[in-house]
Amino acid sequence: MGRCHVLTEKNTETRRGTCAECGPDTPIRPRKTKTGSTTWVCRRPGEPRESKENKARRVRKAKHGLTTEQMDEIQARYGDGCAICGKGDKLVLDHCHRSGDVRGWLCTSCNNGLGLFRDDPTLFQKAIAYLSA
């Protein structure tokens, strides 16, 4: 998004280059590829960066196949906090790894806890019994 495809010249020291679409003296920056190597890309002039919040929302929509309305409905169901502990810190969209169904918003601690128990209610019951003893 907002990246040109072809750099005909690049100077990594000055971080300037010539882009086939934007022209000469275009700002360039390094970007890691999926294979871990580095490529240099430019940003089209006048095109603003996407906010972190919008990018995260777009990625969640794509990953889970949810509409904006469905995501807003999940948010409204649990409010602004974690569905388990109620804290509002660093919420993530929790989903079942077997079915892919979205369950709700959890803080990272509660989400990690579910993952460590492998989403198995029997393990949770055993943990409750252990803590209650």
Strands 16-19 and 38-42: unpaired
User: What pLDDT is recorded for position 1?
Assistant: 43
In the chain the domains, ranked by start, together with CATH numbers, are: 7-42 (no CATH), 52-132 (3.40.1800.10)
Pull the structure tokens for residue 114. Answer: 């579910």
d(CA 47, CA 51): 12
CB 41 within 8 A of CB 28: yes
User: What pLDDT is recorded for position 2?
Assistant: 46
User: What pLDDT is recorded for position 27?
Assistant: 84
First to last CA, the chain: 55
8-state DSSP, 3:
B
What pTM was estimated for this model as a whole? 0.54
Q: Distance of CA 62 to CAs 1, 32, 111, Å? A: 15, 21, 20
Work out the percent of the chain whose per-residue pLDDT is above 70. Answer: 90
Each of the 133 residues of the chain gets a pLDDT tens digit; together they read: 444 557 788 888 888 888 877 778 888 888 888 888 888 887 665 566 677 777 777 777 778 888 878 877 877 877 778 989 988 778 888 888 778 788 888 999 999 999 899 888 999 999 999 999 8
Residue 16, Cβ neighbours under 10 Å: how many?
A: 15
Rounded to the nearest angstrom, the gap between the alpha carbon of residue 95 and the centroid of all alpha carbons in its chain is: 14
